Amino acid sequence: MIIGALRQRLQHLHDILAASLPAAALLHQQSPLHLGAGDPVKVLIIAILSQATSDHNCLLAYNSLRQTYPSWEALALADEAQLAATIRAGGLANSKAARIKQVLAALKAERGEYALDWLGELERAEAYAWLTTLPGVGLKTAACVWAFGFNKPALPVDTHVFRVLNRLKIVNQSQPEKLQVELETHTPPAIQRDLHVLLIHFGRTVCRPRNPLCEKCPLSGECPFFFAKSS
Ligand code: SF4
């Protein structure tokens, strides 16, 4: 797709979803990542806990973690097996416990403290490059830290974002990380975070993985997946 046309389609998608899903932003405020808004270390830890689990279980794990380890210093010193038991509700507890400890150790080694404020001074690409050197941190998690921890333009591509955009054939990209690069390059910066939030809400409630609600979808008139299904 021609670059200008892609930018226009992403803006159009944002405008349609924003008009049809007015509660999306409000619902996002109840999500685990929103809990860390403005605190990049918190977002990073929550993003690790959120991998391969539901928002509900992620929140259970995070609340349990903060009750047991009220400071990053205490968390960094945690016994790994005990930490895994503490976050068991979030699944994959052993590997997440190991990653959390490794990530905190890397933060300490970098600047001598459990903080990421310095990262906000960098360009997005540089920040991503550093974040993705951390164990278990991919481009999606880096974008979550940038978008919600630093309140900067980013468009993390999760399973919902990936599915919806591919069904709509707005992009032709089979790899989520490459899709994220493409979207962050061509989506107007001012709507990147909003579009991420809207697409997740849309993917959960309308364009669901199975049995999408195409009959109620505001995008059915322009959706190749719907046309193929109906023909
Ligand atoms: S028409 Fe169906 S498949 Fe297409 S975007 Fe809407 S819900 Fe998803």
104: exposed, middle or buried (Cβ count in 10 Å: 0-12, 13-18, 19+): buried
Over range 55-59, report the average pLDDT: 95
Over range 190-212, report the average pLDDT: 95
For atom 2 of ligand 1, the residue with the nearest CA is: 214
63 lies in the same domain as 143: yes
Residue 184's domain is classified under what CATH number? 1.10.1670.10
115 lies in the same domain as 197: no
Q: Of the candidates 133, 149, 165, which is a domain's last residue?
A: 149
Closest ligand 1 atom, residue 220 Cα? 1
53 lies in the same domain as 89: yes
Q: Give 4's contacts (C-beta < 8 A, 6+ positions apart).
A: none
Residue 6 has pLDDT above 70, yes or no: yes
- Domain hosting 14: range is 3-29+154-230
Over range 62-73, report the average pLDDT: 97
Q: How many domains does the chain have?
A: 2
- What is the sign of the dihedral through the CA atoms of 94, 98, 57 and 51? negative
Over range 70-77, report the average pLDDT: 97
52 lies in the same domain as 142: yes
8 lies in the same domain as 111: no
Residue 95's domain is classified under what CATH number? 1.10.340.30
217 CB near ligand 1 (under 6 Å): yes
21 lies in the same domain as 91: no
Report pTM. Answer: 0.93
Compute the distance from residue 219 Cα to the ligand 1 centre, in Å.
6
DSSP character at residue 88? G
140 lies in the same domain as 177: no
Residue 40 has pLDDT above 90, yes or no: yes
206 CB near ligand 1 (under 6 Å): yes
57 lies in the same domain as 128: yes
Compute the distance from residue 145 Cα to the ligand 1 centre, in Å.
29
Of 16-30, 106-120, 128-142, 184-198, where does mean pLDDT reach its minimum?
Answer: 16-30
Q: Of the candidates 103, 123, 149, which is a domain's last residue?
A: 149
223 lies in the same domain as 179: yes
Residue 25 has pLDDT above 80, yes or no: no
pLDDT tens-place string over residues 74-96: 999 999 999 999 999 999 999 99
42 lies in the same domain as 145: yes
Over range 141-150, report the average pLDDT: 97
* pLDDT range class, residue 33, cuts 50, 70, 90: confident
Q: Of the candidates 149, 184, 212, which is a domain's last residue?
A: 149
Residue 55 has pLDDT above 80, yes or no: yes
75 lies in the same domain as 16: no
48 lies in the same domain as 114: yes
51: exposed, middle or buried (Cβ count in 10 Å: 0-12, 13-18, 19+): middle
Compute the distance from residue 133 Cα to the ligand 1 centre, in Å.
36
167 CB near ligand 1 (under 6 Å): yes
